[in-house]
Chain A
Amino acid sequence: SAVISQKPSRDICQRGTSLTIQCQVDSQVTMMFWYRQQPGQSLTLIATANQGSEATYESGFVIDKFPISRPNLTFSTLTVSNMSPEDSSIYLCSVSPTGTYGYTFGSGTRLTVV
């Protein structure tokens, strides 16, 4: 299975600022997925990032708030923009190297907005 390096692991940010989260995968993957997980809650898909094209966002998530970059097949970033306390959450990236079987998750970024 793939190995994902995600950073930062945690951060405390001031409201109104932005944070960029990075995920580096040890193999080439077509799609990378970004999830949000509120403490004690389930995972909600934010967007799917394809290399060479714009990310596809799920209902309730917009590019202006969560811009995503995917410059190559092993790397992606998610930016949480103009943060408010409601953005406090765990953000995770995920990939499936085989395309459909067994998704691997990064270790997550625990974001607190104050």
Chain B
Amino acid sequence: GQQVMQIPQYQHVQEGEDFTTYCNSSTTLSNIQWYKQRPGGHPVFLIQLVKSGEVKKQKRLTFQFGEAKKNSSLHITATQTTDVGTYFCAGGQGAQKLVFGQGTRLTINP
């Protein structure tokens, strides 16, 4: 079945440093979604990418979808303590079903 691999599993940065998490699918995706889960919370939708090569920005967050629609990345510029949490990518492949990556847990040293 479809697998979505996400790296790194953990990332610890100093506040103000950049952060990137990468997502790779074993199959071509119809879309990819990104979620953030704060410690003790539930996943919260950030964004969806649909088009090949698509790039979207939300303030300090930049999301990319690969040309082959099999990989994606999330880059955070100048991290802040409010960015702490686990970031999940989730690949869509029809029937509204999502397959989640393992997540990247981001911790920040203030």
A-side residues, CB < 8 A to B, are 1, 31, 33, 40-45, 48, 59, 92, 96, 99-108
B-side residues, CB < 8 A to A, are 1, 31, 33, 35, 41-45, 48, 88, 90, 92, 95-103, 105
Q: How distant is the Cα of A42 from the Cα of B95 in the complex, in angstroms? A: 20
A-B pairs under 8 A by CB, number: 50
Q: How distant is the Cα of A47 from the Cα of B84 in the complex, in angstroms? A: 30
Secondary structure of the B contact surface, majority rule:
strand
Secondary structure of the A contact surface, majority rule:
loop
Closest residue of chain A to B44, judged by CB?
A105
Q: Which of B35, B43, B95, B105 has the most CB of A within 10 A?
A: B43
Q: Which residues of A lie under 8 Å from residue B95 when comparing CB positions? A: 48
Partner of A103, one of B98, B99, B102: B98
**Contact of A45 with B97 in the complex, beta carbons under 8 Å:** yes
**Contact of A100 with B31 in the complex, beta carbons under 8 Å:** yes
Given A41-B102, A43-B88, check contact A48 B48 (CB 8 Å): no
Partner of B96, one of A43, A96, A104: A96
Q: Which residues of B lie under 8 Å from residue A44 when comparing CB positions? A: 100
Closest residue of chain A to B43, judged by CB?
A105
Q: Which residues of A lie under 8 Å from residue B99 when comparing CB positions? A: 45
